[in-house]
Amino acid sequence: MEDQIDFAFNDGGHSYQTTFSDLKYIYENMKGKKGTIVCDDYKGASYITDVKKAIDDYVKKEGLSLRIIEGKFAVIDI
């Protein structure tokens, strides 16, 4: 599929459900292809509890790896 996503920067809604849903949509369009998802508000001054929990839960659910850059961005490599 040529129109699959290979990079996404997620800084949308800040509720648990919105963040989880955004990750699900992005990931479903990256499956089978290398890609990177960068999420804001995971740590640091812009830390939002629901965002961090949704990211952690989604990464665990899909068996993905997570790393933190610049002390605040969550990076998920597919």
Give the C-alpha separation, 34 to 19, whole Å: 21
Q: Of 28, 29, 23, which Cα lies nearest the Cα of 10?
A: 23
Predicted model pTM? 0.90
Give the C-alpha separation, 30 to 28, whole Å: 6
Q: Please check the confidence at residue 1 and state whether its pLDDT lies above 50.
A: no
% the chain with pLDDT above 90: 72
DSSP 68: E
State residue 4's pLDDT score: 72
Per-chain mean pLDDT for the chain: 91
Give the C-alpha separation, 19 to 41, whole Å: 11
State residue 44's pLDDT score: 86
The mean per-residue pLDDT over the stretch 9-13 comes to: 93
